[in-house]
């Protein structure tokens, strides 16, 4: 019989609900006392001392070693807390199948003993209730929990136990080979001289495991292991020097924010974000951290700084800014947020495209690779008839690059070559089309390139068509991304709110694509006064020239992703957030077909034998509708061939 202990209910009165945003405090008065956020009742259960944690030590007897094919014949469990017995649970279980003879010899459990015993369907709900909210402990926990989990799954019960402790792993970590050559339960029971000896019966083995667990706890207690989290951190075999650095995380709050590991010279080694700062930083000093570079960083770290943030968006933005400011050596990404290559339309009498680190008023980018930027710029110049020669031309001059005898551009020649010279006014229409393409006012060059693509496909020049297709896909994708971010960066001020998951709102003030202020209106707090306070205290943003008005593209992209998250809504804005009618987003369906073509080729290649060239599936080519969009796929499959990527 299990003994049940009742606990008195705790009623919590909240006296004040405060929301602090950059010096702004919104208070709702009530009666009573609010619990401190450092109160143990509100802390994570893993941080509780071992003496206050309830453990349920379980042992099973089964018909074999496979949880998929064998069944449980006996369950024994002991519930303890603080070294005191709370209750026991023991029952035979009818496996509804025969018990092998060698199992009978090992456990002494016969088919006659379990014939009238309850089935696992009757026993398991009672065990789950007995072990509710406790830490499950077992000797070779994977075996016991595997059978229990399989039974729960078969019955449609969710597995409720997140915290599991294996005394085999703990013994291997605590005891040396000389002291314990084997960590079998019988060997450990003999080593520790426990009162209950294992008998291969569930309850006896569970009682023996309880005593072994307590003896192991006595060993680790002298090593500073006081909580269940400390115990989990200790298990993987983390060096003492690393475990000792856990004190670097003690001053951190349990809320969202960013953290910075600093080295011996106070230099920033690493920057990261966390929903729970204390828990995330503590994880660096445990066995869960397997990255070699990060282990090296932890060994160098002397302290951890932090900045508390209102929510994840603010933490993400501040991380990007700190990465750009400090360029930490152990971060791999986003250390140079302003670096990138832009395709810019020059401001001269005969404009052309140039590749620059700085964006002009009309530009496309940024590109990570200069070579990719050059390739996209070449396609734009070819589609728009823009000159690529480097001749310095004055306003009163003319563009005189000539075509070949067949009326076509010479190989490697200027894309703006014509049979007759062009004056500046005559040439300006080409520059206007290019500017319209980059800003989304026209997609005529894209449609012209698609016409060429279909012409190449009809002529069975599939390799040329595939190269053009991939270049055009890259151009359209970059147009869509740049125009999408530019649409957000154009807005002088936008205030948005997203649910915080607790009935409150995460608030953000965005100016020209940059986060200017952030805060939270907790549940029950009127959000509009908080919005007004945030807007009044927000950072002043002076826009620069260029599509993104000087905002780092990664920050604008992060904010855009947050804005398009389900549940986020715009509270107010100085202008609408809209994409251009003829922009790159119009060709999303075509790009999806290109992506599908590439996936088909990869899948085909995977099924081909080694050394044999793959035969790609037909690649859809969109037929242009009268509106210029992709009306539907057209597949050149009638000839038995396809575009070859």
Q: Is 326 a catalytic residue?
A: no
Name the one residue in this structure whose structure tokens are 């006392």: 33
Q: DSSP letter string over 237-287?
A: ---HHHHHGGGGGTTS-SSSEEEEEE-TTS-EEEEEEESSHHHHHHHTTST
- Locate 338 and state its tokens: 């302003």
Q: What is the pLDDT of residue 618?
A: 47
- Locate 317 and state its tokens: 């933005």
| CA atoms of 162 and 262, how far apart (whole Å) | 34
| CA atoms of 449 and 622, how far apart (whole Å) | 12
- Of 459, 461, 432, 464, which is closest to residue 445 (Cα–Cα)? 432
Cβ-contact 579, 586 below 8 angstroms: no
Cβ-contact 617, 604 below 8 angstroms: yes
Angle between helices 462-489 and 588-607 (to 10 degrees): 130
3-state class (DSSP) for residue 153: helix
Q: Residue ranges of the alpha helices (H) in 415-461?
A: 424-439, 444-458
Q: How far is CA 84 from the centre of its chain?
A: 43
Q: What is the pLDDT of residue 237?
A: 63
Query: For the chain, how are helix, strand and coil distributed in percent, rounded to 5?
Result: 40, 20, 40
Long-range Cβ contact pairs of 515-519 (< 8 A, separation 24 or more): 515/313, 515/314, 515/317, 515/555, 515/559, 516/540, 516/541, 517/21, 517/22, 518/309, 518/310, 518/311, 518/313, 518/314, 519/19, 519/21, 519/22, 519/24, 519/310
- Of 170, 300, 172, which is closest to residue 242 (Cα–Cα)? 300
| CA atoms of 53 and 55, how far apart (whole Å) | 6
**The model's pTM:** 0.66
Q: What is the pLDDT of residue 385?
A: 92
One of 44, 102, 157, 200 is an active-site residue; which one? 200
Q: Could you report the per-residue pLDDT of 19-70, keeping only the tens digit for each?
A: 333 333 333 333 333 333 344 434 577 778 899 999 999 999 999 988 988 9
On the CB side of 78, CA atoms within 13 Å amount to 21
Q: How far is CA 586 from the centre of its chain?
A: 28
The topology under which CATH files domain 239-326 is: GIY-YIG endonuclease (3.40.1440)
Q: Where are the CATH 3.30.420.10 domain residues in the chain?
A: 49-226
| CA atoms of 195 and 205, how far apart (whole Å) | 11
Q: How far is CA 391 from the centre of its chain?
A: 49
| CA atoms of 141 and 143, how far apart (whole Å) | 5
| CA atoms of 543 and 338, how far apart (whole Å) | 15
* Signed CA dihedral, 504, 509, 514, 515: sign only: negative
54-62 and 135-138: which strand pairing? parallel
| CA atoms of 395 and 551, how far apart (whole Å) | 34
Domain 49-226, CATH homologous superfamily name and number: Ribonuclease H-like superfamily/Ribonuclease H (3.30.420.10)
3-state class (DSSP) for residue 498: strand
Q: What is the pLDDT of residue 43?
A: 56
Cβ-contact 219, 174 below 8 angstroms: yes
Region for residue 96 given its phi and psi (left: phi exceeds 0; alpha: psi -120 to 50; beta: otherwise): left
Q: Could you report the per-residue pLDDT of 228-284, keeping only the tens digit for each?
A: 888 877 776 677 788 788 889 999 998 899 999 999 999 999 999 999 999 899 888
* Signed CA dihedral, 312, 317, 320, 326: sign only: negative
Q: What is the pLDDT of residue 282?
A: 87
Q: Residue ranges of the alpha helices (H) in 47-134?
A: 101-107, 111-114, 120-130
Angle between helices 167-174 and 141-155 (to 10 degrees): 160
Cα angle 181, 182, 184 (rounded to 5 degrees) comes to: 160
Does 35 sit behind a cis peptide bond, omega within 30 degrees of 0 on the bond before it?
A: no
Q: What is the pLDDT of residue 599?
A: 85
Residues of the chain whose pLDDT is less than 70?
1-43, 236-237, 287-288, 607-645
Q: Where are the CATH 3.40.1440.10 domain residues in the chain?
A: 239-326
Specify the length of the chain in residues.
Answer: 645
| CA atoms of 316 and 565, how far apart (whole Å) | 15
3-state class (DSSP) for residue 132: coil
- Of 150, 10, 4, which is closest to residue 72 (Cα–Cα)? 150
Q: Residue ranges of the alpha helices (H) in 80-161?
A: 101-107, 111-114, 120-130, 141-155
């Amino acid at each position: 019989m299990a003994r049940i202990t009742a606990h008195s209910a705790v009623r919590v009165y909240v006296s004040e609900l405060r929301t602090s945003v950059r010096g702004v405090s919104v208070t709702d008065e009530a009666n009573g006392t609010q619990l401190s956020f450092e109160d143990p009742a509100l802390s994570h259960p893993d941080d509780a001392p071992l003496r206050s944690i309830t453990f349920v030590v379980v042992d099973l007897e089964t018909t074999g070693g496979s949880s998929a094919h064998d069944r449980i014949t006996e369950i024994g469990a002991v519930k303890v807390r603080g070294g005191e017995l709370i209750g026991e649970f023991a029952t035979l279980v009818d496996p509804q199948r025969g018990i092998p003879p060698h199992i009978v010899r090992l456990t002494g459990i016969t088919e006659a003993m379990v014939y009238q015993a309850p089935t696992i369907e009757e026993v398991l709900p009672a065990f789950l209730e007995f072990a509710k909210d406790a830490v499950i402990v077992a000797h070779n926990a994977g075996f016991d929990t595997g059978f229990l989990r399989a039974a729960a799954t078969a019955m449609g019960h969710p597995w409720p136990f997140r915290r599991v402790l294996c005394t085999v792993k703990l013994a291997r970590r605590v005891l040396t080979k000389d002291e314990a050559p084997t960590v079998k339960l019988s060997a450990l029971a003999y080593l520790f001289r426990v009162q209950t000896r294992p008998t291969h019966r569930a309850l006896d083995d569970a009682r023996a495991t309880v005593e072994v667990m307590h003896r192991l706890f006595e060993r680790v207690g002298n090593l500073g292991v006081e909580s269940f989290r400390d115990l989990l951190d200790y298990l993987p075999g983390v060096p003492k020097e690393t475990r000792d650095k856990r004190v670097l995380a003690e001053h951190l709050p349990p809320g969202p924010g960013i953290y910075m590991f600093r080295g011996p010279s106070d230099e920033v080694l690493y920057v990261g974000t966390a929903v729970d700062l204390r828990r995330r930083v503590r994880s660096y000093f445990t066995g869960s951290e397997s990255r070699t570079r990060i282990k090296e960083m932890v060994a160098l770290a002397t302290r951890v700084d932090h900045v508390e943030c209102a929510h994840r968006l603010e933490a993400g933005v501040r991380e990007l800014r700190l990465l750009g400011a400090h360029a930490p050596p152990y971060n791999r990404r986003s250390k140079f947020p302003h670096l990138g290559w832009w395709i810019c339309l020059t401001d001269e009498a005969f404009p052309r495209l140039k590749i620059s680190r700085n964006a002009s008023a009309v530009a496309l980018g940024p590109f990570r690779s200069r070579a990719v930027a050059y390739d996209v710029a070449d396609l734009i110049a070819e589609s728009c008839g823009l000159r690529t020669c480097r001749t310095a031309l004055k306003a009163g001059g003319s563009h005189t690059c000539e075509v070949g005898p067949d009326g076509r551009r010479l190989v490697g020649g200027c894309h703006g070559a014509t049979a007759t010279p062009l004056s500046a006014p005559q040439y300006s229409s080409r520059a206007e089309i290019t500017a319209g393409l980059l800003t989304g006012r026209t997609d005529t060059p894209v449609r012209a390139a698609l016409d060429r693509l279909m012409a190449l496909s009809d002529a069975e020049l599939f390799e040329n068509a595939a190269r053009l297709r991939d270049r055009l896909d890259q151009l359209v994708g970059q147009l869509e991304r740049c125009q999408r971010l530019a649409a957000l960066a154009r807005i002088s001020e936008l205030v948005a709110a997203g649910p915080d998951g607790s009935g409150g709102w995460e608030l953000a003030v965005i100016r020209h694509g940059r986060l200017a202020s952030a805060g939270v209106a907790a549940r029950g707090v009127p959000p509009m006064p908080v919005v007004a306070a945030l807007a009044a205290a927000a950072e002043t943003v002076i826009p620069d020239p260029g599509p993104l008005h000087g905002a780092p593209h990664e920050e604008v992209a992060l904010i855009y992703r947050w804005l398009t998250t389900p549940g986020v809504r715009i509270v107010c804005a100085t202008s609408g957030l809209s994409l251009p009618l003829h922009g790159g987003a119009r060709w999303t369906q075509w790009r999806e077909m290109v992506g599908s073509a590439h996936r088909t080729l990869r899948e085909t290649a995977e099924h081909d034998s080694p050394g044999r060239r793959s035969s790609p599936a037909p690649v859809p080519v969109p037929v242009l509708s009268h509106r210029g969009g992709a009306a539907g796929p057209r597949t050149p499959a009638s000839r038995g061939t396809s575009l070859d990527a």
